[in-house]
């Protein structure tokens, strides 16, 4: 059944005059209600990871699967080291470090998480106080040779390319273990990322946030003439329709449900604009713009980082040349669909 809320009428509280929008008011993005929290930080990954924590419309950005969880559990349980010195590369929110902490239990262990994003590492510190964290580039690890006997990464190390894998080999001690789950080109996760990226790109091109800012600012401004409100609504109508069609095409869950959430929230505010604080509303929309840019960038990066068969063969050769005896370099399926979703790379460094 067609979603009843998707449409231009969803934004209306009364009949609007059919004015033709021939000119567009210039947007003023320096609004008095904005706080420093909406300013884009230098590191776009910080924007992404901050967004996943600050906005309820975002997931944490981690990929969870029974297949992946089982691989980590079996891998950790099979380790024979009396004391584990583990480095988790491109940790994100620390899902691998959490599983490792649980699996190791009372066994002596020291876990170091690295990521390029301070925001991600701050989140890890809050969840797992026992781990060490350090912000750095995975292709330039600030550790001595043979510093760890376990190197892990889930959907992270591949972003930094082959050099990051070679750096992992360098800091891994002889007889140490390499355990990596990486993005698979053409796999289920890759396809989902491609769809998310395409949907967000079209959403941004629709200028829905810009037109919504104009409409809401006009409706919330005390004493705005009705003709100004009508004009702002007419200007917003193409963006509203495009976004509604976009959500119908991809489904309400696209981009973690974020586009649908923005669409429905703006519609609700538009219908009841007198009940909202203009500064908070306009600041929220500007923040959503920043977070969507960061989310879009992450989706694009995921697609670029995904490893195809040719790259896998090259990487396998590079790892072998760096002293890694590979036990497995295989594709992993999703538990439900059976579609391949990732690469599993498991090996041990020869003495």
Encode 6-15: b = buried (16+ Cβ within 10 Å), e = exposed: bbbebbeeee
For the chain, domain boundaries: 8-41+189-303, 66-184+306-349
pTM of model > 0.85: no
327 sits in which H/E element: strand 324-333
If DSSP codes are grouped into helix, strand and coil, which group holds residue 212? helix
If DSSP codes are grouped into helix, strand and coil, which group holds residue 100? helix
- 117 within 8 A of 87, measured Cβ to Cβ: no
Give the per-residue pLDDT at 351: 78
- 250 within 8 A of 199, measured Cβ to Cβ: yes
Task: Give me the residues of the chain with pLDDT under 50, please.
Answer: 1-2, 4, 14-41, 52-63
Give the per-residue pLDDT at 47: 57
Rounded Cα gap, residues 277 and 90, in angstroms: 39
Give the per-residue pLDDT at 20: 34
Count of residues for the chain? 351
CB-side neighbour CA atoms (13 Å) of 2:
6
- 326 within 8 A of 182, measured Cβ to Cβ: no
Q: Say which CATH topology domain 66-184+306-349 has.
A: Rossmann fold (3.40.50)
Quote the Cα angle for 332-336-337, to 5°: 75
Rounded Cα gap, residues 271 and 196, in angstroms: 28
Rounded Cα gap, residues 133 and 97, in angstroms: 11
């Amino acid at each position: 059944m067609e979603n009843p809320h998707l449409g231009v009428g969803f934004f209306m509280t009364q009949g609007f005059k059919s004015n033709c929008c021939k000119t567009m008011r210039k947007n003023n993005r320096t609004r008095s209600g904005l706080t420093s929290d909406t300013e884009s930080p230098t590191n776009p990954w910080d924007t992404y990871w901050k967004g996943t924590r600050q906005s309820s419309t975002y997931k944490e950005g981690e990929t969870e699967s029974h297949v992946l969880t089982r691989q980590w559990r079996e891998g950790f349980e099979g380790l024979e080291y009396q004391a584990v010195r583990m480095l988790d590369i491109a940790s994100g929110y620390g899902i691998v470090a959490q599983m490792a902490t649980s699996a190791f239990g009372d066994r002596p262990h020291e876990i170091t998480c690295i990521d390029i994003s301070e925001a991600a590492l701050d989140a890890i510190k809050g969840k797992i106080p026992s781990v060490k964290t350090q912000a750095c580039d995975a292709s330039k690890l600030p550790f001595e040779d043979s510093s760890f006997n376990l190197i892990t990464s889930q959907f992270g190390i591949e972003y930094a390319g082959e050099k990051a894998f070679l750096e992992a080999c360098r800091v891994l001690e002889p007889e140490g273990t390499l355990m990596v789950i990486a993005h698979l080109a053409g796999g289920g996760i890759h396809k989902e990322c491609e769809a998310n990226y395409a949907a967000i790109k079209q959403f941004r091109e629709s200028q829905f946030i810009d037109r919504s800012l104009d409409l809401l600012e006009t409706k919330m401004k005390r004493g705005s003439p009705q003709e100004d409100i009508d004009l702002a609504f007419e200007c917003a109508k193409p963006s509203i329709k495009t976004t509604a069609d976009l959500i119908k095409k991809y489904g309400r869950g696209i981009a973690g449900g974020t586009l649908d959430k923005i669409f429905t929230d703006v519609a609700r505010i538009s219908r009841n604009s007198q009940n909202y604080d203009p500064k908070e509303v306009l600041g929220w929309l500007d923040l959503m713009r920043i977070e969507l840019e960061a989310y879009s960038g992450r989706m694009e990066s995921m697609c670029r980082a995904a490893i195809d068969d040719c790259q896998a063969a090259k990487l396998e050769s590079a790892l072998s040349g760096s002293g890694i005896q590979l036990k497995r370099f295989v594709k992993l399926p999703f538990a439900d669909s059976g579609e391949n979703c990732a690469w599993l790379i498991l090996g041990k460094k020869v003495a």
